[in-house]
Amino acid sequence: MDFEKLREVFAYNPQAPMIFSSGVFLWFFAGFVIVYALLKKASTPRILFVTLFSYYFYYKSSGVYFFLLAAVTVSDFLIALLMGHTVRKGLRKALVAVSLAINLGLLCYFKYTGFFGEVVASITGGTFGASDIFLPVGISFFTFQSLSYTIDVYRRQIAPLKSLPDYAFYVSFFPPLVAGPIIRARDFIPQIRKPLCVTKEMFGQGVFFVLCGLFKKAVISDYIGVNFVERIFANPALYSGVENLMGVYGYALQIYCDFSGYSDMAIGIALLLGFHVNRNFDSPYQSASITEFWRRWHISLSSWLRDYLYISLGGNRRGKFRQYLNLIITMFLGGLWHGASWNFVVWGMFHGVALALHKAWMAVAGRRKEERRGGLRRVAGVIITFHFVCFCWIFFRNATFDGAMEMLGRIAFNFQPHLFGQLIDGYRYAFALMLLGFLLHFVSGKWEAAFSRCVIRLPLIGKVALMVLFVYLVIQVKSSEIQPFIYFQF
């Protein structure tokens, strides 16, 4: 036996992190499911086993930085436990402030040290030499997830857990660990000690979500990303305006299929293990307003920002002006959450201002009338909202602000529509997948529900055959190198 090759398989490899769409994960997950099934009636050993596997899964994604996950887990568990035994409001505030300091302190150090250092250096006229700080995968997700628990305990919306293994299971549960959805303690913790039960409907829905996510990520997102989108964004100045615009449309589909694909697989795997995780996307490009878009896009983050930031700032309780300001501040910080770059700040500010303007328009036009509009008005709203979101994606995707402005300049002043035919001919397969992706996105939810019911009704051998077919399709289409999920960098 070649022990060196075996060690390479089990050890962390920064060039090949373990992701749901990789063959390595499928083999590990197959072994995991066997042990998981054997521990079906032994809840505590099963909880410990899943937690250990989750930590190993995180190790395969970020190496030794799994100790940060452990540090956050232990500290917030103890803080919440102390809050549960504390009556004095001042002490409870101090304890939740400690939780905020630990979680946000870790997030700021690993994610924003270089950015803030460069900002200070530019203001003072000095220089800043940022050390090579590794950004642990998923740190933005598990810190927010753990924070929601301590804040809920502080608000007395949930009681603190008495069992550290149960809390470790909640924070580290591997399907949504590194890229969401951000699961709430009040939704997930009550499921931990319930008798394990995977119904036929849960199993069928789990298979459906896994297949949908695999198709979105490995077939559509990876192919159009590698073979078209990345080439355009690498150097927008080399391409005409029409090529840049198509690249933006391609990225809009790529990031949706990539991120919603991960969420679908996470939800599906959780269902196969007997757990319900809330949906994270709801056909966001069908939105007729920016407010509706944020009800449909990255639902777990937008609801987290609403419940723990926007409402804490005062929400809509302190007058219209303060409401609009709170929206802008929330989205500014939401943009900063995505990354330490002025591009993300600008992206967040654009969305914040757009949300404030839409709220103001709704106050004038009437909320009910605005939400009930249909027909051509809704079609116009969908087109306008989609193009505004695409405009913002230009800043989100480009590595520099200059790159974003270059792309906008090419689209505005060097469009060259006559090149469209050559573009389609040169990237025919990428455009075919883009067309398919958008058609599937805009298809009625009834079609999706019908396909889900068909998968649920299939016998076990039919579900296995369908999964084998999808895996074969992925092998034929996927690129030779592993394409990490886009949100791993956030």
Give me the active site residues, please: 338
DSSP 8-state secondary structure symbol assigned to residue 430: H
CA–CA gap between residue 86 and residue 177 (Å, rounded): 30
Is 233:250 a contact under the CB 8 Å cutoff?
no
Pick from 336, 397, 340, 347: nearest CA to 130: 340
CA–CA gap between residue 250 and residue 244 (Å, rounded): 10
CA–CA gap between residue 141 and residue 128 (Å, rounded): 28
**Residues 6+ away with beta carbon under 8 Å from 70:** 55, 168
Is 142:72 a contact under the CB 8 Å cutoff?
yes
Question: Which pair of structure tokens corresponds to residue 189?
Answer: 């913790």
Pick from 144, 77, 66, 70: nearest CA to 107: 144
CA–CA gap between residue 8 and residue 12 (Å, rounded): 8
Pick from 81, 440, 352: nearest CA to 360: 352
